[in-house]
Amino acid sequence: MSPKVTTVIVFASILMWSQSPAADGRQLAQTSGTEKAPAPTEKAPGRAAGRAVQVKGTVAAVDKDNHTVTLKGPKGRTVTLEVQDPQKLDAVKVGDPVLATYMEALAFQIKKPGTATPGTTVQETRVGSKPGETPAGAIGREVTVTATITAINKKAETVTIKGPRGNTETIKAKDPKNLDLVKVGDLVEITYAQALAVSLDKPAKK
């Protein structure tokens, strides 16, 4: 995990910590996790947000030698994707309509010392359509960063966290009451997930 990516995740957590839930079309909800919920007065702060964007486009190029397909969006932007199953390219032609869905989600949860370890993990997944189905595929990536709370300033309504590589960030809490629920030494588990699903926008040939 590069420092640049870690920094992006930490800054994303800043946004999540400093924003309150809003009814703007994005799904915001308090996270509960899989552990037994503590008493209301001791509940550790946590939050999650996600969004999905759907875009229609067309196939701009098909490269069977390199097993890639280039897609063009409604604004003329292009993206080239690698196709794991080269046989799927036989059913794809330039000009074919495609439907792409991009999804991202961000969540953070406070963990008590001993229940988590500072560090970074990355998971990637790929799935594809079965033979005879409309050519489609999806790729996903999930990055989890666990940082440590090193300082809490209730007067300034801020908390400072230290990342796995020693980088620190000071975050202003939107709800100062959350500062009463955390202590120096607590851990912040931040998870950022991305997924892209693409399929031909036409039925498969029988």
Whether 205 maps to a domain, the answer reads no
Query: What are the pLDDT digits (tens) for 97-151?
Result: 999 898 999 888 889 998 888 999 999 888 887 777 777 888 899 999 999 999 9
In a domain, 84, yes or no: yes
For the chain, the three-class secondary structure string (H helix, E strand, C coil) is CCHHHHHHHHHHHHHHHHCCCCCCCCEEECCCCCCCCCCHHHCCCEEEEEEEEEEEEEEEEEECCCCEEEEECCCCCEEEEECCCHHHHHHCCCCCEEEEEEEEEEEEEEECCCCCCCEEEEEEEEEECCCCCCCEEEEEEEEEEEEEEEEEECCCCEEEEECCCCCEEEEECCCHHHHHHCCCCCEEEEEEEEEEEEEECCCCCC
Residue 131: the pLDDT is: 74
User: Per the domain annotation, does 27 fall within a domain?
Assistant: yes
Name the residue among 189, 172, 204, 164 with its Cα closest to residue 45.
Answer: 189
Q: Is residue 133 part of a domain?
A: yes
- Asked whether residue 139 is domain-assigned, the answer is yes
pLDDT of residue 43: 57
Look at the chain and report how many structural domains it folds into. Answer: 1
pLDDT, position 154: 93
Is there a domain that residue 22 lies in? yes
Rounded Cα distance, 115 and 148, in Å: 12
Q: What stretches in the chain show pLDDT beneath 50?
A: 1-41
Residue 90's pLDDT is 86
pTM of the model: 0.61
Let me know if residue 86 belongs to a domain.
Answer: yes
Tell me, yes or no, whether 59 lies in a domain: yes
Closest CA to 108 of 97, 100, 116: 116
Domain span at residue 30? 3-200
